[in-house]
Structure 1
Amino acid sequence: MTREYIRLYATVVITALVLPAVAQNTKVFKGQSAIRGVSTVSRPVQRQWKGVFSQKGDDVFFRNDFPGARLNGMVKVNDTLYTALITSENTPVNGSPWYAFKVWAGKPREITLKLTYQQGSRHRYPPKLSKDGNTWTSVEAGDAKKIFEEDSLPGEYQFKLKVSKDTTWVAAQELFTSKHANAWLKELKSKPKSSAEIIGYSRLGKPLTVVKMGNPASKKRILIIGRQHPPEVTGQYAMKAFVETLNAGTALSSQFLNDYLVYVIPLMNPDGVDNGNWRHNDGGIDLNRDWDAFNQPESSAVRDFLKKEIADKGNQLIFSIDFHSTQDDIYYRVDPKMKGNMPNLISDWLSKTQEQIPGYVPNVKALYSGGGTFTAFSYFFKQYGTEALVYEIGDNTPRDFIKHKGEVSAQILMNLLLNK
C-alpha cells in the first residue's frame, strides 16, 4: 500500500450523520423474528442503467458498469456535494441497501458524497474504499460502535472523499462476485480428495457449482452453503475460513476427510451478487424463503442434488450450515427439543466454541420449531434430520475475528464429528 493510498483513506471524514453510539457490551442483538411463508413466484426486477454518470462541464465521474455494482442515479448539488440514489431490484425487500460504484476526477479535489435510498429504507453499510477492487478500507474507525437494530440506522449517509484521476471504488462491503467465487472454487477443487460438479444454473444461466471434499465412499455427509443474499460478504468470508480449515492438509483435516464427504456450495445467488441486488435473485425472490415451494432454479438445483446424493443412495446428511450476514453475530438453530441425526452436536459445538475463544459468548436463537420449511436450514433438518445451523456474521465484525472464528469453529466441528 503506497503512502499516497494511506493518506487518501486517512483523509476520509464522516460528516453530517454520525451513527448512534451503542455500547457493545450492554445490548444483545435480538436477531430475526419468526419466519413466515411468502410467495416465491418470480416477480419483475429493476434493471440498472449501466455506464458513466457525469454532468456537462463537470470533471467528476461515476460508473456502475462492473459486476457487483449498484448506482441508480447521481446528482451534482453544488461544487462539492454529490448525491447518489440507491434503489433496490424490487419491493418489498429486506433492509440491505447495497451500493457499489467507481469515482474519479480530472483534477484532484475533495468532494462530499451523500448516499440516499428509496423511501422507507435506511443506510446500513458504512462505505468501503479501494484503489484496486481488492484491498479495502472502511471510512469508519475499526472501533466504531455497533448498530444492533435496523430502526437505529440513519436514513442517509454523508462523507468526504479525495478524488483524482486514479479511480476510487466505493462499496457497501468488499466486492466478492462470481469471479472471485469461481477463482476460490478452482483452488478448492485442485486440492487432494476434491472435485467439482455443476448441479444446475441460475435464472441468467450462471453455473451453480458444488465442490466435493473428502471420501466419496463415506455414508456420512455434511453440507455447506452460502451467499443466498447478495450483500452478505462477511458470511462469505466466514465460510471461506471454515471450508479452508476443513481441507487444510493438517492431521485433523486429513483424518476428517477420510471419514466424511463434504459438499460446498459457496454461491447460491450468482445473479443477485453480480447485479448488485439488495436481497433477491433475478426472479425478484428471496431464495431463503423458497425452500418449501421451490419456485426458483437455484433452490431447486440444491434440492435435486441432495435427493440424488443423499436420499437415493442411502447416505446420511449429518450436519449442514448456511452462512449469512446481519447486524451482529448470531447463530440460528433448530429448537433443541427437536432431535436430528446427532443429538446435542450443535449445543456441544457452540459451548466448545465459547471455551476456545476467550471472552466470546455466542448469541444463539432457536428459529425453527416445526411447520413449513421456508428457509434452507429448516428444510435440511426436516427432510434429512441433519443437525442444521445458520451462521450469521455481523456487517462490521472485524475481518481478522471472522477468520479466527471460522477456523476455530471448523476445528471444533471436525473433532466432535470424529469422536461422536
Structure 2
Amino acid sequence: MHINAAFDSGNIEVVKAEDAAAIELAIRKDHQSDFYQWFHFKLHGEVGEDYCLTITNAGESAYPDGWKDYAAVASYDRETWFRVATEYDGKVLKIHHTLEQESVYFAYFTPYSYERHQDLIHAAQQSALVQHELLGLTLDGRELNLLVVGAQEADHDAKKKAVWITARQHPGESMAEWFAEGFLTRLLDDEDGVARKLLRNHVFYIIPNMNPDGSVRGHLRTNAAGVNLNREWAEPSLERSPEVYYVLEKMKATGVDLYLDIHGDENLPYNFVAGAEGVPCFNERLEHLGQQFKQALLTITPEFQTTYGYEQEAPGEGNLTVASNAVCERFNCLAFTLEMPFKDNADLPDSDFGWSAPRAQQLGADVLAAIYAIADELR
C-alpha cells in the first residue's frame, strides 16, 4: 500500500498507513497560511480490499461546515470523477472505498491540472478570434495568461463593450476553471448564434486561472506567498499579489462594462451570485441590470437559483478589497461573484457525481446566454 501526493495540485500528509481499514491522513496548510481544505492524492493498494482513509484534521480546516453532507471524488483514469462514501463526525472525515483497480486518485473536487490549463490557452490561441496576452509572471515564475476574444472593430465604428471573466483566484476552487472552459468553448463556437452576435459589439477578456502557483502547489485559497488574492483588490502589489496587480492594470487600460469573478463555495450546495450592493456607486441602474441577469439565468437553467446565497452587504459597507466590489466601484459596472458548490446542487442532486466538472462547464456555457440577455444595456 502506498499513498502519494507528489504531483500537480497534490496535497496530503500520511500520518499512519499500516492497515487498509485505519489509514490516517492530514491536509497540508497553504504555504505561509493557515488555510487548508483542498486534498488530492493517489492510493496504490490491493484490488478488492476495503479502504478507510481518515483525514484527521478536517475539523480544524478553513471551512469545517463544508464537510457536512460532502462526498469526496475519486477516479481511476483521471477523466471520470465519481463520488465515494464519505462521513464526517465534526472532527474527522472518513472516506470509504473498495479498490476496483490497482490505484485510484481522490480529491476534494475534480482537479483542473496546470497541463490542461496550458492546453486550454493554446487551443484557444488557434482561433482567429483570440489574442493571447502574457500579463506578467507570478511569484513562482508562471505565466498569467489572458485570452482576448473579439477585439476586431465593432459594427458602425462603435466602441466595443468590455466583458471581463476571471476564474480561480482561490486555486482549490477548480470548478471555476471548468466553468471558464465551458464558457470559452461556447464563445469560440462559430456556429453558435449567441456567441456570434455578442462578438459583434463586445470584447471578452478571460483569465481561466488567476492563481496558477496556488493551483500547482495544492493550495485551497492563497498564492505562493500565502496571500488571499480576493482580498487584494484595493491595493495589490508586485511583492504580494502580482496576479491582481497585472489584471487591474489591464482593466484600467480596457475599461470594464461587465465583470464576473468565478468561485466555488465550500458550505452552500447551490449555484448563486453575490452582487456589489454595498459599494458607494451602486444605483438603480445596476440593481435593475443585476435583476435582469439573474432572471435570465433562472430562465436558462434550473442549475441556478436566488433563494440561497450570501447576506447582502449594507449600502456603503461593501468590502473594496474583494474583486467584484472593487471593480464595480472603480468602473461603475455590473459585477458579480459567481459561486458553485463543492458538494452537489441540492436543487438537482446527482448521487453518482454531485456537482461535477461537466456541470460546471455547462453552467459556463449557459452564462454566456445570460450575458446576451442584458448585453444591450451594459453601458
TM-score tier by shorter-chain length is 0.7 to 0.9
Q: Equivalent of 1:325, from 264, 286, 295?
A: 264
Give the whole-Å Cα distance in 2 for the aligned partners of 1:99 and 1:369.
38
Q: After alignment, is 156-165 or 189-198 more displaced?
A: 156-165
Shift of 1:114: 1.0
Q: Which residue of 2 aligns with 1:376?
A: 323
Task: Tell me the alpha carbon deviations over residues 169-217 of structure 1, each in whole angstroms, 9 at most, x when there is no partner.
Answer: 1111111022111111222222231110100111100000000001344
Give the secondary structure class of the aligned counterpart of 2:141: coil
Give the secondary structure class of the aligned counterpart of 2:336: strand
Shift of 1:395: 1.1
Q: Which residue of 2 aligns with 1:74?
A: 15
**1:395 and 2:359 matched:** no
Q: Equivalent of 1:221, from 159, 162, 165?
A: 162
Q: After alignment, is 401-410 or 255-264 more displaced?
A: 401-410
**1:255 and 2:197 matched:** yes
Q: Is the Cα contact below 8 Å between 1:232 and 1:324 reproduced in 2?
A: yes
The alpha-carbon distance between structure 1 residues 103 and 79, as it changes in their structure 2 partners (threshold 3 A), is closer
Give the whole-Å Cα distance in 2 for the aligned partners of 1:284 and 1:160.
32
Q: Is the Cα contact below 8 Å between 1:333 and 1:368 reproduced in 2?
A: no
Q: Equivalent of 1:349, from 279, 289, 293?
A: 293
Shift of 1:284: 0.6
Q: Is the Cα contact below 8 Å between 2:112 and 2:178 reproduced in 1?
A: no
Shift of 1:359: 8.6
The alpha-carbon distance between structure 1 residues 222 and 162, as it changes in their structure 2 partners (threshold 3 A), is same
Give the whole-Å Cα distance in 1 for the aligned partners of 2:37 and 2:286.
38
Shift of 1:372: 5.1
**1:406 and 2:364 matched:** yes
Give the secondary structure class of the aligned counterpart of 1:160: strand
Q: Which residue of 2 aligns with 1:110?
A: 50
For these two proteins, the number of residue pairs brought into alignment is 345
Q: Equivalent of 2:140, from 204, 207, 212?
A: 204
Task: Tell me the alpha carbon deviations over residues 360-416 of structure 1, each in whole angstroms, 9 at most, x when there is no partner.
Answer: 532455347446520111121111112111000111233354344332221121232
Counting aligned pairs with the same residue, the percent is 18
TM-score w.r.t. length of structure 1: 0.74
Give the secondary structure class of the aligned counterpart of 1:65: coil
Task: Tell me the alpha carbon deviations over residues 103-149 of structure 1, each in whole angstroms, 9 at most, x when there is no partner.
Answer: 113675332211122772236353211112222111049xx9xxxxx
Q: Unpaired segments of 5 or more residues in structure 1?
A: 1-59, 145-151, 311-315
Which structure has the highest helix share of the two? 2
Q: Which residue of 1 aligns with 2:351?
A: none
Q: Unpaired segments of 5 or more residues in structure 2?
A: 154-158, 345-354
The alpha-carbon distance between structure 1 residues 340 and 386, as it changes in their structure 2 partners (threshold 3 A), is farther
Q: Equivalent of 2:108, from 169, 172, 179?
A: 172
Give the secondary structure class of the aligned counterpart of 2:172: coil
**What are the within-5 Å matches in structure 2 for residues 294-309 of structure 1?**
294-295=236-237, 296-307=241-252, 309=253
CA RMSD of aligned residues (A): 2.8
The alpha-carbon distance between structure 1 residues 300 and 341, as it changes in their structure 2 partners (threshold 3 A), is farther
Q: Is the Cα contact below 8 Å between 1:340 and 1:386 reproduced in 2?
A: no
Q: Which residue of 1 aligns with 2:37?
A: 97
Task: Tell me the alpha carbon deviations over residues 305-334 of structure 1, each in whole angstroms, 9 at most, x when there is no partner.
Answer: 222x32xxxxx4110100000033221101
Q: Is the Cα contact below 8 Å between 1:334 and 1:369 reproduced in 2?
A: no
Q: Is the Cα contact below 8 Å between 2:31 and 2:225 reproduced in 1?
A: no
TM-score w.r.t. length of structure 2: 0.82
Give the whole-Å Cα distance in 2 for the aligned partners of 1:240 and 1:383.
27
Task: Tell me the alpha carbon deviations over residues 30-65 of structure 1, each in whole angstroms, 9 at most, x when there is no partner.
Answer: xxxxxxxxxxxxxxxxxxxxxxxxxxxxxx111111
The alpha-carbon distance between structure 1 residues 185 and 79, as it changes in their structure 2 partners (threshold 3 A), is closer
Give the secondary structure class of the aligned counterpart of 2:16: strand
The alpha-carbon distance between structure 1 residues 331 and 93, as it changes in their structure 2 partners (threshold 3 A), is farther
Q: Is the Cα contact below 8 Å between 1:222 and 1:318 reproduced in 2?
A: yes
